[in-house]
Structure 1
Amino acid sequence: MTDTPAPAPAAEFWEARYRDADRVWSGRPNPLLVREAGDLTPGTALDLGCGEGADAVWLAGRGWRVTGVDISTTALERAAVHAAEAGVGDRTAWERHELGRSFPEGTFDLVSAQFLQSPVPLDQQAVLSRAARAVADGGTLLIVMHAGWPTWQTEPPFDADFPTLDGVLAELALPAGEWTVETRETVRRPHTSPEGVEGHRDDNVWRLRRV
C-alpha cells in the first residue's frame, strides 16, 4: 500500500498550478458575475481569488475600481498584464493574500467571491464571513460556488464538501434586518469534459445587499 502524500500548503499548491501552465483560465469573466453585477452601479469592488484577472478586468471595464486578491504571485502578475492590455490598469490594484490568514483593508461596494473552492485546505466559512464584513453600506456580496461535480465526473479527483443554498446563509449568520437576499438560486449549465463527454454542472449563486 502506498501512503498518500500530505497536501501541499495552499500557497505552494496554487503557485505551482499557475507557474506550470501558460494559462489556467479562459480569460473571460465568469458568466454569473456578468449576470448578477451587470445592473449594479459601479463603485469600488473586491475580487477574492481573482486568478488571472478576468473578472476584475471586466468590472474595471464597466467603470469599477477593483482590488484583485489572490494567493499566487504568478496569477497576480498575469492579471496586471491583462488589465494593462485591456486599458484598465489605472482602475485595478492587485494584492497577494492567503485568505483565511490575511485580508484586504477597507470596505467595498461589491465583494465578489467566485468559486472559492480548493483541493487544499481553505477556511471557506471564515473567508466568506470576512467578505461580508467588507461590504460597505448599500453594497453587494456576490458568492458563486459549484454545487457538485459535473455529471460525467464518475470518480471525483478529491473529497469535497459542496455548499448548499441554505447552508451558506446559515454559516454567514448575517444580522437580521441588515441584509436583503436578492438572488438565491441553483443554475444548471452545460459542461463538457476534456475528452468531449457532454454533461452539465450545477452552480449556486447568492447576491446579498447590505441595507
Structure 2
Amino acid sequence: MADADRARWDARHAAVGAGSPQPPDALRGRLELLPPGGRVLELACGRGAVAVWLALRGFAVDAVDVSGAGLAAGAALAERSGVGERVRWVAADLDAGIPPSCAGPYDVVVCQRFRDTGLYPAMAERLAPGGLLVVSVLSEVGDTGGPYRAPAGELAAAFADLEVLAHAERDGEAALVARRT
C-alpha cells in the first residue's frame, strides 16, 4: 500500500473517532454459528469494533490493519471495554500478505469490507479444523460496479473447498460464512 493510502486511512480513522463493539455484518442473525471461544484473526480491522466485540465474547483476537490511527482507536476501545489483554493489535500492510506472526490456526477468521483475492487462500489455510470463515466485501451485485467490487459468485468460488453455511449477494455487498471441515 502506498504511504498516501496509509495516510488517508489514518486521517479517516482519526476523524471518525471511537466506535462501539459490533459483530461482523455477515454474522448478524447467525451468531449461533460462532464457536464458544478460541482464537480469532481479524484482517483489516479498522477501528477494532469487531475485534473488541469478539474479545467481549471470550475470544483471543489478533487484529491486523495498516492504519496506526485505526489500531490506536481499537486499542482504546478494547481498554474501555475491559478486554485490552484479549486483543493483540498488529500493524501490517495486507498488500504484502498476512503477517507471519499471524500463522494460526484460528477458530475464526474475519475480513470485513477489505477485498484482496490474493489473500483468500491464506485466509482459508489459517482456519483450524472446524474453524469459521466470515467474509464480506463490496459487490457488483445490485450495484453499478467499480474497481473494488467483487463480481457475482466470487466468494463462493474462492472458498469452494469450505462448507458454506451462509452466502448472500445483494445491494452492493457479498457475504460468506463457511466452515473448514
Question: TM-score if structure 1 supplies the norm length?
Answer: 0.72
Whole-Å separation in 2 of the counterparts to 1:80 and 1:86 = 10
The 5-angstrom pairing of residues 118-129 of structure 1 reads 124-129=116-121
The 5-angstrom pairing of residues 81-160 of structure 1 reads 81-103=76-98, 104-117=102-115, 124-148=116-140, 159-160=146-147
- Is the contact between residue 165 and residue 185 of structure 1 (CA under 8 Å) also seen in structure 2? no
Whole-Å separation in 1 of the counterparts to 2:142 and 2:13 = 23
Q: Which residue of 2 aligns with 1:60?
A: 55
Give per-residue Cα distances to partners, 1:100-146, cap 9 Å, x unaligned: 304122220000011114xxxxxx11122211111111101111122
Structure 2 gap segments, 5+ residues each: none
| Shift, 1:164, TM fit | 3.7
User: Which of 150, 160, 164 does residue 181 from structure 1 map onto?
Assistant: 164
User: Which of 169, 188, 200 does residue 156 from structure 2 map onto?
Assistant: 169
> Which protein has the bigger helix share?
2
Whole-Å separation in 2 of the counterparts to 1:181 and 1:91 = 28
SS at match of 1:35: coil
Q: Name which one, 1 or 2, has greater alpha-carbon Rg.
A: 1
| Shift, 1:38, TM fit | 4.5
- Is the contact between residue 33 and residue 55 of structure 1 (CA under 8 Å) also seen in structure 2? no
User: Residue 169 of structure 1 aligns to which amino acid in structure 2?
Assistant: A
What is the identity percentage for the equivalent residue pairs of Structure 1 and Structure 2? 27
- Is the contact between residue 107 and residue 135 of structure 1 (CA under 8 Å) also seen in structure 2? yes
| Shift, 1:202, TM fit | 3.9
The 5-angstrom pairing of residues 45-56 of structure 1 reads 45-56=40-51
- Between the two proteins, the alignment pairs up a number of residues equal to 175
Alignment root-mean-square deviation, CA: 2.7
Whole-Å separation in 2 of the counterparts to 1:128 and 1:92 = 23
Give per-residue Cα distances to partners, 1:147-173, cap 9 Å, x unaligned: 24997xx9x9xx424214522333x26
User: Residue 210 of structure 1 aligns to which amino acid in structure 2?
Assistant: R
| Shift, 1:28, TM fit | 4.4
Whole-Å separation in 2 of the counterparts to 1:136 and 1:166 = 25
Closer/same/farther in 2, CA of residues 47 and 173 from structure 1, 3 Å limit: closer
Question: TM-score if structure 2 supplies the norm length?
Answer: 0.82
Whole-Å separation in 2 of the counterparts to 1:160 and 1:39 = 32
